[in-house]
Amino acid sequence: MSAEAKVSLDRREYSRARYAVAAIGEFARHAGLPPRQAHRYLASHGAIEFLTEHYDAEHLLSFDEVVEDLVLVAAQAGGDIQ
């Protein structure tokens, strides 16, 4: 892999990570949870994996829509936060 391709990949991963942190923060506000607790909840109910797998579509949505998606994904896995 060329150095230029590696830098591009690093920037893409950095952007995805920043997006995930922002989405978790928005979910935390929605749920009234501290960010760490929101992350644990989302991770344990498959919503972080969903966010990672569907980043290309999710990052085009508003954070309100993303939070709705995270709530739905977690609920399908037994989560109880609405």
DSSP-derived letter for residue 61 is: S
Q: Is residue 71 part of a domain?
A: yes
Phi, psi of 18 (to 5 degrees): -60, -40
**pLDDT for position 4:** 56
Rounded-to-integer distance, Cα 36 and Cα 62, Å: 22
In a domain, 29, yes or no: yes
pTM above 0.75, yes or no: yes
Residue 47 is assigned to a structural domain of this protein: yes
Separation of alpha carbons 3 and 7, rounded Å: 6
Query: How is residue 18 written in tokens?
Result: 């920043």
Average pLDDT value for residue range 55-70: 97
Range of the domain at 72: 3-76
Q: How many domains does the chain have?
A: 1
Residue 81 lies in a domain: no
Q: Is 82 inside any structural domain?
A: no
Q: For all residues of the chain together, what is the average pLDDT?
A: 92
Q: Give the mean pLDDT of 22-40.
A: 98
Residue 49 in this model has a pLDDT that exceeds 60: yes
| Residue 73 CB contacts under 8 Å (≥ 6 apart), including other chains | 45, 46, 47, 50
In a domain, 10, yes or no: yes
How does residue 10 score in pLDDT terms, banded at 50, 70 and 90? confident
pLDDT mean over 24-46: 98
